[in-house]
Amino acid sequence: MAAQVLTDVRLFAGGADLTGASNKAELAVECEVKDRTVFGTGGWKRVQGGLRSSKVTAEGFWEAGDPGLVDDATWATIGGVVPWTVAPHLAAVGSLAYLTQALRTDYTLGGAVGDLAPWQAGASGTGAMTRGQIAHPPGTARSGTGAGTALQLGPVPDGRLLYGTLHVLSAAGTTPTLTVRVESAADAAFTTPTTRATYTAAAGLGGQALAVPAPVTDTWWRVAWTVAGTGPSITFVAALGIQ
């Protein structure tokens, strides 16, 4: 991917699509440096990597009055852990995405007279920050059973996990529910798919994360879903990645 100007970043936190309320999103990943210098190194310091940590920060223009808007969504989860998914350029299936679970640690709002009301928020990662792909786009409503596009993410070897995030952005109809599962297969046609994990059935806006343990030799992955209820229509975004 060539150098790009950030114009189409997609940002999801819990059950909120913060894209239209954001004008800045930053991810930071850090590895502790541990000193392992001993005698006989010729006077040169030796170091080794320790614990890793991550942080998500974002800011934009304040909105409130709906569970999917930034103020409502942040107040509902401040001090709690929610999944975050950040796509640097759009959120089509296969788009690059970074996904994590993070503790909402700070939220700042308000400014000077005459300003467009701003907001700023930060979240500290708990667990891995994973580089993956969008497995289901946010703009496609689902009303029944289906399966997403196959993604060739590769196998999950010992010592690694496949991570997934799910953000339910809207749910219409009478008692709508959405159940999403993560499947793998040895081929892109998913001739014999295997269900590796299933999210808790969702009845409204919210976010979930899960992990699939190693080893998995299948190299193809996708999400599949079942929507139930009377006249249901649900939009959601899902992302998968191996770390």
pTM of the model: 0.96
Inter-residue contact 156 to 163 (CB < 8 Å): no
In tens, the pLDDT along 86-106 reads 999 999 999 999 999 999 999
Element of type H or E holding 77? helix 70-77
- Mark out the alpha helices in 34-86 (DSSP H runs): 70-77
In tens, the pLDDT along 77-91 reads 999 999 999 999 999
In tens, the pLDDT along 136-192 reads 999 999 999 999 999 999 999 999 999 999 999 999 999 999 999 999 999 999 999
CA-closest candidate to residue 51, choices 119, 127, 143 = 127
Q: Assign a CATH topology to domain 134-242.
A: Jelly Rolls (2.60.120)
Q: Can you give the pLDDT at residue 126?
A: 97
Inter-residue contact 173 to 235 (CB < 8 Å): no
Q: Can you give the pLDDT at residue 3?
A: 86
Q: What is the mean pLDDT of the chain?
A: 97
**How does residue 204 score in pLDDT terms, banded at 50, 70 and 90?**
very high
In tens, the pLDDT along 4-17 reads 899 999 999 999 99
| φ/ψ (deg, to 5) at 133 | -140, 155
